[in-house]
Amino acid sequence: MEKTKRRKKPIIILIVVLVILALIIGGIVACSRALTTSLEQLGAGLIEVSEVERRDIINDISVSGTVESENIVKVTTTVNGKIKKLNVDVGSEVKAGDVLCVFDSDDLQLQYDTLLKTQQNADSLTENTHKINERNLENAKTEKANSLAQAQRAIDEAIAARDAAHQKEQQLVDRYNSKAASKNDISARLAEAADPESYEMLAQQLSSIDMELQSIDSQLEALREQYASYDSAVTNAQEAYTNAERSADNAIQSYQDVLDAEQYSDNTSGKTELEKLADQIAACTVTAPKSGIVTSLNVAEGSIPTSEALMTIEDKDALKISVSIAEADILKIHEGQKAIVRTTATADKEFDAKVSRVVNIYQAGQMGANGQSTGGYSAEISVDDKDHELLIGMNAKVKIVLDEKEDVLAVPFEAIIADEDDTYHVLLAITGDDGTTRAKAAKVTPGMEGTYYTEITSDEVKVGDKVVTTPGDYQDGDILPIFDFNAAMNSANEGGADE
């Protein structure tokens, strides 16, 4: 019996301990829940206070949009063929000049090589013909020079013969005159001759002179009859020169015309066709017109493109966000305004931006489920931050800064109370030595309004003061039911644990 009792006693004790622990835990939980509920109910009737601080005040407009590239390029081609090699995929980063894809150009290359050989042969023939024509032209010029030189010699000889005849005439005239003078002298002496011997001698001399004069006169007459032939020889030589010059010029002009006609020969059509084929072959290698990221791809290796655009490249460094602007805000927005960009993916990080474009034209949109139109005005926000982590397609929240001030005294805008005399005040929460907190009115001058806080200037408010955030109907001197909810919760948790 005793042995049996000793076995049951530990089991009973264990059961009792477990029951007690369950009761304690249940009581703590229930007590904590009840206390929390009571504190929440109590806190619902209390006022809120906020500590006065120096802050940066920003007056902004919140909008949203999708991150996209400012520079979007659709890569197109005129080539109608099969893609031989594709070097990119969607998401590939490319630099300007990178080869994106290559079309099959074998047939074009064969046409080009065949036409090039034909064109080279034609060019060789044209060049050889040109050299022959140039040689003929130079020969004609040389022949002209030779012909004119020969004709000029004939002119010179005819003139020289005519001049010699005139010179001989002058010599005969001079001789005739000299003999005539001698005749007169002898005739005078003959008339005075006294002896027969002298007379006979002078008579013989006179007869001899008469014979010479007759001979000279005959020579002059014969010579003068030849003057017409001398003049005719000169004229004929000059005409021969003119005819030789005319004939040579005609030959030269004929060869020059042949050379000039070469430029109109139909040898350019082949070159034009070669240039077209070269351009088509070059177009088979498609390169990136600028750096960026491939965001869409409409072709595959081995396929024939069915759309004009092969792919789209977007500049991932030059980003913008297109946002809708409400009618009430559109006149507040202008280019150059500062903006701040945030996204869910980048958490609390903020990126500098600015308003780059404002569209002041209303654009009608689709009708939403709530019966309201999605149309409105719009603007583009350019991202200035070069070290951004934004990706194309991210949903972005944008704050367009209308105005901002740094390090100014500020309170929640709900804390400022307007007086009837167009002045303003706030209620400060002042706790006395007895622990009672009372309201104290402090004059303030509101300044720039931000999203949650308003700038103030005041001689009665300083940094660290407690200002009533929701003053309601409280006035100067009223006791304020301020309750530190967090401190009460901490105290309640500690009490529950002790219990």
pLDDT band at 22 (very low <50, low <70, confident <90, very high): very low
Mean pLDDT of 89-94: 93
Residue of 388 and 143 predicted with greater confidence: 143
Q: What is the pLDDT of residues 412-427, one digit of tens each?
A: 999 999 999 999 999 9
pLDDT band at 365 (very low <50, low <70, confident <90, very high): low
Whole-number Å distance between alpha carbons of 43 and 97: 68
pLDDT of res. 494: 53
pLDDT of res. 272: 87
pLDDT of res. 371: 54
Rounded to the nearest 10 degrees, the angle between the axes of helix 106-192 and helix 268-283 is 150
pLDDT of res. 157: 94
Range in 28-37, 151-160, 356-365, 484-493 with the lowest mean pLDDT: 28-37
Statement: residue 208 has pLDDT above 70:
yes
pLDDT band at 28 (very low <50, low <70, confident <90, very high): very low
Cα three-residue angle 395-401-406, rounded to 5 degrees: 125
Query: Which of 36, 31, 135 has the alpha carbon at shortest distance from 499?
Result: 31
- Alpha carbon 270 to its chain's center: 34
Instruction: Please answer whether residues 293 and 39 qualify as being in contact, where contact means their C-beta atoms are separated by less than 8 angstroms.
Output: no
Whole-number Å distance between alpha carbons of 448 and 460: 19
Statement: residue 85 has pLDDT above 70:
yes
pLDDT of res. 9: 29
Mean pLDDT of 29-39: 40
Supply 119's token pair.
């064109």
Statement: residue 21 has pLDDT above 70:
no
Instruction: Please answer whether residues 285 and 99 qualify as being in contact, where contact means their C-beta atoms are separated by less than 8 angstroms.
Output: yes
Whole-number Å distance between alpha carbons of 141 and 255: 10
Share of the chain above pLDDT 90, in %: 55
Range in 244-258, 267-281, 300-314 with the lowest mean pLDDT: 267-281
Whole-number Å distance between alpha carbons of 115 and 231: 68
Total residue length of the chain:
499
* Amino acid of residue 284: C
Statement: residue 115 has pLDDT above 60:
yes
120: region left, alpha or beta (phi > 0 left; psi from -120 to 50 alpha):
alpha
> How do beta strands 338-343 and 351-363 pair?
antiparallel
Statement: residue 484 has pLDDT above 50:
no
Whole-number Å distance between alpha carbons of 35 and 29: 10
What is the pTM for the complete model shown?
Answer: 0.50
Domains within the chain, CATH numbers bracketed = 49-67+318-482 (2.40.30.170), 71-104+284-314 (2.40.50.100), 108-266 (1.10.287.1700)
pLDDT band at 153 (very low <50, low <70, confident <90, very high): very high
Q: What is the pLDDT of residues 225-236, one digit of tens each?
A: 888 899 999 999
Q: What is the pLDDT of residues 196-207, one digit of tens each?
A: 888 888 889 889
Whole-number Å distance between alpha carbons of 289 and 97: 6
Statement: residue 168 has pLDDT above 80:
yes
pLDDT of res. 119: 87
Q: What is the pLDDT of residues 437-461, one digit of tens each?
A: 999 999 999 999 887 899 999 999 9
In DSSP terms, which residues pair with 324 in a beta bridge?
378
Whole-number Å distance between alpha carbons of 203 and 153: 52
Mean pLDDT of 321-326: 90
Statement: residue 372 has pLDDT above 70:
no
> How do beta strands 53-69 and 292-297 pair?
unpaired
Instruction: Please answer whether residues 309 and 75 qualify as being in contact, where contact means their C-beta atoms are separated by less than 8 angstroms.
Output: yes
Range in 218-222, 340-344, 370-374 with the lowest mean pLDDT: 370-374
Q: What is the pLDDT of residues 245-269, one digit of tens each?
A: 999 999 999 999 998 888 777 666 7
Where does residue 95 rank: exposed (0-12), middle (13-18), buried (19+ CB within 10 A)? exposed
Most distant pair of Cα atoms in the chain: their distance: 236
pLDDT of res. 49: 92
- Under 8 Å CB-to-CB from 60, ≥6 apart: which residues? 340, 399, 400, 401, 402, 450, 451
Instruction: Please answer whether residues 310 and 288 qualify as being in contact, where contact means their C-beta atoms are separated by less than 8 angstroms.
Output: no
In DSSP terms, which residues pair with 285 in a beta bridge?
102
- Average pLDDT across the chain, whole number: 83
pLDDT band at 338 (very low <50, low <70, confident <90, very high): very high
Whole-number Å distance between alpha carbons of 76 and 277: 19
Statement: residue 117 has pLDDT above 90:
yes
Share of the chain above pLDDT 70, in %: 85
3-state secondary structure the chain: CHHHHHHHHHHHHHHHHHHHHHHHHHHHHHHHHHHHHHHHHHHCCCCCEEECEEEEEEEEEEEEEEEEECCEEEEECCCCCCEEEECCCCCCEECCCCEEEEECCHHHHHHHHHHHHHHHHHHHHHHHHHHHHHHHHHHHHHHHHHHHHHHHHHHHHHHHHHHHHHHHHHHHHHHHHHHHHHHHHHHHHHHHCCCHHHHHHHHHHHHHHHHHHHHHHHHHHHHHHCHHHHHHHHHHHHHHHHHHHHHHHHHHHHHHHHHHHHHHCCCHHHHHHHHHHHHHHHHCEEECCCCEEEEEECCCCCCCCCCCEEEEEECCCCEEEEEEECCCCHHHCCCCCEEEEEECCCCCCCEEEEEEEEEEEEECCCECCCCCECCEEEEEEEECCCCCCCCCCCEEEEEEEEEEEEEEEEEEHHHCEECCCCCEEEEEEEECCCCCEEEEEEEEEEEEECCCEEEEECCCCCCCCEEECCCCCCCCCCECCCCCHHHHHHHHHHHHHHC
pLDDT of res. 348: 84
Statement: residue 65 has pLDDT above 60:
yes
Residue of 498 and 217 predicted with greater confidence: 217
